[in-house]
Amino acid sequence: MNESPDQILNSYSLAEAIIEFFNEDSQYDNDYLLLRINLLRSVFGLESGSDNENARIFDELLFGYGQLPTLRILPFDGALEIPSSIDSDAHMTIGKQFKNEIDLIKENFRKVQASYITHLVIHSIDIKNRNNTVRLAELINNGLPVTPVIDTE
């Protein structure tokens, strides 16, 4: 998110911010992303608590059902914590043997999640507001930090 203040943000920018919010590998702080999301929501008339019925979709997505489960390919992600376990050996061996395949499955899983969120966002915005845009500078004027906050944990 190394962006110019003159950058124009649109409905897809809102979808991208939500996708990043749920990306467990994101480098950005969740509070920063949540602020960005909420500022973008206001551009499309989807503020939390508004009369717009579709605003509830975003509330539910961000504070509940949108928390997508961690993808587990192997049966026990914590198997390595079990001492002297045959399962630990199987986990390590299969994990190494199928690393590329597991990575590909996770990548495809993230693509499906991103497509779902994008579809949900775009179709939740009233058709008369779908073409709304805002300059990043306006979000900064409304409290978004100039430099994205990086998650240090």
Q: How many residues does the chain have?
A: 153
3 assigned to some structural domain: no
* Within-domain flag for 47: yes
Q: Does a structural domain hold residue 80?
A: yes
Domain that holds residue 126: 8-141
In a domain, 146, yes or no: no
Please tell me the total count of domains within the chain.
1
Asked whether the CA dihedral 139, 142, 144, 146 is positive or negative, the reply is positive
Per DSSP, 81 falls in state: G
Q: Evaluate whether residue 147 is within a structural domain.
A: no
The residue behind tokens 């939500």 is 18
pLDDT tens digits along 22-69: 887 889 998 999 999 999 999 999 999 888 889 988 888 888 665 556
Alpha carbon distance 147, 129 (integer Å): 28
153 within domain boundaries = no
**Residue 151: inside a domain:** no
> Over the stretch 79-133, which tens digit does the pLDDT of each residue have?
555 555 676 777 788 889 988 998 898 889 889 989 999 999 999 999 999 999 9
What is the pTM (predicted TM-score) of this model? 0.80
71 domain residue, yes or no:
yes
